Amino acid sequence: MILVTAAILIHNNKLLIAQRKSTDILANKWEFPGGKIEVNETPEDCLIREIKEEFSIDIKIQSHFGNSVYKYPNFIIKLIAYRILWISGEINIIDHQDYKWVSLNELSKFNFAPADIPFLKN
């Protein structure tokens, strides 16, 4: 099982979502940004690192949001989501092809990665 984190970042009443690159696994799917937990890394430390690497911003963990387990054809993922606060920095996407700030009502318009879908209902 692959352990991965996800950020639930709300800013000005909008959620941050990111679109995977067309060359990635799950190409063009939308997701809550985050990444794989490395050996000897806590989920919280992973998320802080990943958001810094992928978006060039500093964050603070607020609270655990939920978990999602999904079995893809070749692997199983456990997605651990956290509510986060944007502390500093300007967004500069590095690992995605696009990002958007969307309202809760707009989430259903996007084609999300399957492991992220349970978080749309929270």
CA distances 69 to 2, 13, 14, 40, 114, Å, are 10, 27, 25, 21, 10
Number of domains in the chain: 1
18 and 93 Cβ atoms separated by less than 8 Å: yes
Q: Which residues contact 50 (CB under 8 A, 6 or more apart)?
A: 5, 7, 33, 34, 35
0.85 exceeded by the pTM? yes
Look up residue 107 and give its DSSP letter. Answer: G
* Residue among 111, 101, 103, 7 at smallest CA distance from 54: 7
| CATH number of the domain residue 84 falls in | 3.90.79.10
32-88 residue pLDDT tens: 999 999 999 999 999 999 999 999 999 999 999 999 999 999 899 999 999 999 999
Which residues span the domain enclosing 32? 2-120
Which structure tokens are listed for 90? 């300007």
Greatest Cα-to-Cα distance within the chain, rounded to the nearest angstrom: 38
Confidence of residue 122 (pLDDT cuts 50, 70, 90): low
